[in-house]
Structures are given as C-alpha cells and as structure tokens.
Structure 1
Amino acid sequence: MSTITIGTLPRLSSKALSDILLSHASSNLDAPSTPQNLAIIDVRDDDHIGGHIKHSTHIPSSTLDYKIPELVRKLKDKDTVVFHCALSKGVVGEAMKKNKKENTEKKADDGGWEDVAEDTEKKEQKVYVLDRGFVGWQEIYGEDTRLTEGYRKEIWQDGY
C-alpha cells in the first residue's frame, strides 16, 4: 500500500490545464461549461478571493470532512479531477488523500460506481494537484478572461 504525501501527488501544470480548457472552448464556441470529463476543485478557504479558474467548483477545505463522500459521487464519471488551493501544498494534499480514501471505500462497498456490462473495462480516474496552485495560475492566466473569472489584479500585485 502506497502512502500519499504532497511530494508523491501527481501534478498538472497551469499550461496543461489551460490547454485542456482552451481546446474545449475552441471546439465549443462560447462554451458555458467545463469539459464533461474534467472537474476542477478549488479548496481555498478565506483566501478564495481575487479570482478563480473558470468552471471550477469551490469546496472550502474546512468542509471537506463531510463533503468528500458527496464530492466522490458527483465526480464519479469524470476522467480527470484537478484539485488546487492557493499554493497547492498542504491543504490540497489532504483533500486528495480524503478523496482517494473515499473512492477506495466506495469501490469496495459496491464493487464499482455503476452497473456496466462485464466486458466493459472501467477507466481509472486521473487525479492531479494544480502545480503552484491558484497563485501560480493567476501569475500567467489571471487577466485571461477565457480562463479566469472575477480576477482582481490589485489583490495579487504584491504577491501572496
């Protein structure tokens, strides 16, 4: 059994995430929603100010203890889930550990998430941490309205 630490969590760069979001937007003019197979979970608490990644879902880390089971159910059909907080260090690591634990327990309880034909192979969900969190994201994409909503430059101009 492997131990999950912040150092072992798979990372996704801001560039890679922006490429995913922009490729979806270009294939769906005026895309009002995120790609169906992707979820972006923002676990910032009081620091959820000054903007957010377009189409992200805000679930404060202070609510994760009781929100994770519901979150796992909502995300079950997503191929890729990206978690982030301000810096994507400690808080987001805890969120991912709770998500992985709940996923494992859910699979053990019912043998899987949904009824599928026996010959249908289930895909493993990819779960990532956004490298450098929202702080890193806003440095590159803060003013890009295709990717960031509610951005307030004055909050970020002196650093985090």
Structure 2
Amino acid sequence: MNYQYLNADQLVDLLRTADHGKDFQVVDVRDDDFRGGNIPGAIRAPSEQRTDQSVEDLVQQLKDVPTVIFHCTLSQVRGPKAARIYADAMAKARQPDEQAAAAKTEDLGTAPSQDAAAAGAGVDFSPNPYLAQQRTDGAQEQQVYVLRDGFGGWQSLHKKDPLLVENFDATIWG
C-alpha cells in the first residue's frame, strides 16, 4: 500500500502545530456531498472530475509539501482511491529525478554515504512522525495519508470548533 491512515487526533495535531499548505495539505475528494462543511484550508479535488491531467497538476502543485492527506465522506472508497492514484502518479513523476541522481552518482564514481543509506532505511527520528522523512538523495519523502472515517467522522468530533470545521451546516449532517 502506498498510503497510510491518519486518525482525527493526528490531523488535529497537524492543524494546530504545522503550517497548512507548507508542512501538510488536506485534499477533499467529495463530490456533491461536499456541502455541509469542510476542513479549513483543504484543497477541493472532486473524484468525479479527476482526470490524468488533474492528478498530474495536483502532484506538481503539492510536490514540495511533505504530508498530503486525502479524505471523502467516509474514507472507504473515494479517499483511498484518490490517495493511491496520487501516490502512483507522484512516484512516476519522481522517477526521472531519481534516475538523473543515480546517473550523476555513477558519473562521479561515488557511492551514497552511510548516513544517506541509514536515512533511507525507514528510521524516523522526527518528533512528529507525520512529517516527511529524508530520502537518500536528500529530498523530502512525501507521505500520503487517508483520514480515517473521512469528513463524516471528523465533523462528528469537531463540528463545534471553527478552527477545525468551516461552513458547517447541521441540517445536512443532522
């Protein structure tokens, strides 16, 4: 699997401590069910409007954001599918960069340092495990998540907090 699940309390921590749009980005893939509220700062990317080009554009737009979190209403179908498609497109877009870095290393006749190899071994010493890890080429490894229980679960926990839910309409969620 090329994404992981993120719990609501973990996203609350990010919203309260990290820079939205710089350290992380929430992507809402709901379609007509978007009405009734949303997570502040989320990018709207409706699943029914997804095309290869829109996915490539999103990858380009978020390439420097270390943590990307997808969700739909329940995060059972559309959110996970969007995360998988995005992560696959991100990996495909990154391949030419990795091939160029490998060719440059071969041209210089050098091998990656032990520190770089250890960094790529999946060891995370970050106090916040939801922020990206370093890749062996020195770039940030983007982490892709799906918000567990989607916006339905999110709004049931946080609908009264305007810092965590905006445009809330109780008649839709009642």
Structure 1 unaligned blocks of 5 or more: 25-32, 113-117
Are the aligned partners of 2:21 and 2:65 in contact in 1 as well (CA < 8 Å)? no
Q: How far off its partner does 1:22 sit?
A: 1.6
Aligned AA for 1:152? D
| Counterpart in the other structure of 1:88 | 75
| Counterpart in the other structure of 1:74 | 61
| Counterpart in the other structure of 2:8 | 14
Q: How far off its partner does 1:95 sit?
A: 0.8
Give secondary structure in 2 for the equivalent of 1:108: helix
**Residue from 12, 17, 33 that aligns with 1:47:** 33
Give secondary structure in 1 for the equivalent of 2:146: strand
Higher Rg = 2
Structure 1 segments (4+ residues) deviating >6 Å: none
Q: How far off its partner does 1:108 sit?
A: 1.7
Q: How far off its partner does 1:35 sit?
A: 5.1
**Residue from 87, 98, 123 that aligns with 2:85:** 98
Distance 1:68 1:91 in 2: 14
Distance 1:77 1:58 in 2: 18
Moved more, 62-71 or 44-53: 62-71
| Counterpart in the other structure of 2:145 | 128
Moved more, 77-86 or 95-104: 95-104
Q: How far off its partner does 1:123 sit?
A: 2.3
| Counterpart in the other structure of 2:169 | 152
Q: How far off its partner does 1:23 sit?
A: 2.3
Distance 1:86 1:102 in 2: 23
Structure 2 unaligned blocks of 5 or more: 100-104, 106-111, 113-136
Give secondary structure in 2 for the equivalent of 1:22: helix
Using structure 2 for the length normalisation, give the TM-score. Answer: 0.73
Distance 1:17 1:107 in 2: 26
Are the aligned partners of 1:21 and 1:35 in contact in 2 as well (CA < 8 Å)? no
Using structure 1 for the length normalisation, give the TM-score. Answer: 0.79
Q: Give the count of matched residue pairs.
A: 141
Q: In proportion to residue count, which structure has more helix?
A: 2
